[in-house]
Amino acid sequence: MNMPSSRPVWYFVPATLLLAAAFGAEPATDPLAPGEKAASDWIKTRLETSRIESAWVSEKPLLESTINGLKERAQSLEEKSDLLKASTAKDREEFETLKAKAKAASDDLHAAEARINALSAKLVEMRPSLPPRLSEALELPYRSLANAGLASGERMQLAMTVLNRCALFNRTVTCGDEVLTINGEQGAKSLEVIYWGLSHAFALDRGAGKAWYGAPGARGWQWEPSPDAVRPVEKLMAVYNDKADPDFVAVPAILGQAVAENLKN
Pick from 160, 149, 134, 119: which is nearest to 216 by CA?
Answer: 134
Percent of the chain with pLDDT over 70: 85
Instruction: Establish if 40 belongs to a structural domain.
Output: no
Q: Are residues 165 and 180 in the same domain?
A: no
The pLDDT of residue 95 is 87
Count the residues in the chain.
Answer: 265
Counting runs of H as helices and runs of E as strands, what totals does the chain give?
8, 5
Quick check: 35 pLDDT over 50? yes
Question: What is the percent of the chain where pLDDT is above 90?
Answer: 32
pLDDT, position 33: 75
Q: CA neighbours within 13 Å on the CB side: how many for 151?
A: 3
Pick the more confident residue, 3 or 46: 46
Query: At residue 74, does pLDDT exceed 60?
Result: yes
pLDDT(249) > 50: yes
Q: What is the DSSP string of 141-193?
A: HHHHHT-TT--HHHHHHHHHHHHHHHHHHHTSEEEEEEEEE-TTSSSEEEEEE
- Do 255 and 178 lie in one domain? The reply is yes
Q: Which of 138, 169, 200 is the C-terminal boundary of a domain?
A: 169
221 and 198 fall within a common domain: yes
Residue 70 located in a structural domain: no
Pair 257, 200 in one domain: yes
For residues 215 and 156, state if they share a domain: no
Same domain for 257 and 181: yes
Range of the domain at 138: 121-169
Number of structural domains found in the chain: 2
Q: Which tops the pLDDT comparison, 127 or 18? A: 127
134 in any annotated domain: yes
**What interhelical angle do 152-170 and 89-126 show, nearest 10?**
50
Are residue 191 and residue 240 in the same domain, yes or no? yes
The verdict on residue 32 lying in a domain is no
Q: What is the pLDDT of residues 110-156, one digit of tens each?
A: 898 889 888 888 999 999 999 999 999 999 999 998 888 888 889 99
Average pLDDT over every residue of 178-207:
91
Report how far residue 212's alpha carbon sits from residue 216's, in angstroms, rounded to the nearest whole number.
Answer: 13
Whether 180 and 227 share a structural domain: yes
Whether 110 is covered by a domain: the verdict is no
Higher-confidence residue: 90 or 138?
138
Q: Residue 256 pLDDT more than 60?
A: no
The structure's pTM equals: 0.58
- pLDDT interval class at 29 (50, 70, 90): low
Helix H, strand E, coil C: the string for the chain is CCCCCCCCCCCCCCHHHHHHHHHCCCCCCCCCHHHHHHHHHHHHHHHHHHHHHHHHHHHHHHHHHHHHHHHHHHHHHHHHHHHHHHHCHHHHHHHHHHHHHHHHHHHHHHHHHHHHHHHHHHHHHHHHHCCHHHHHHCHHHHHHHCCCCCCHHHHHHHHHHHHHHHHHHHCCEEEEEEEEECCCCCCEEEEEEEEECCCEEEEEECCCCEEEEEEEECCEEEEEECHHHHHHHHHHHHHHCCCCCCCCCCCCCCCCHHHHHHHHC
75 pLDDT band, cuts 50/70/90, is: confident
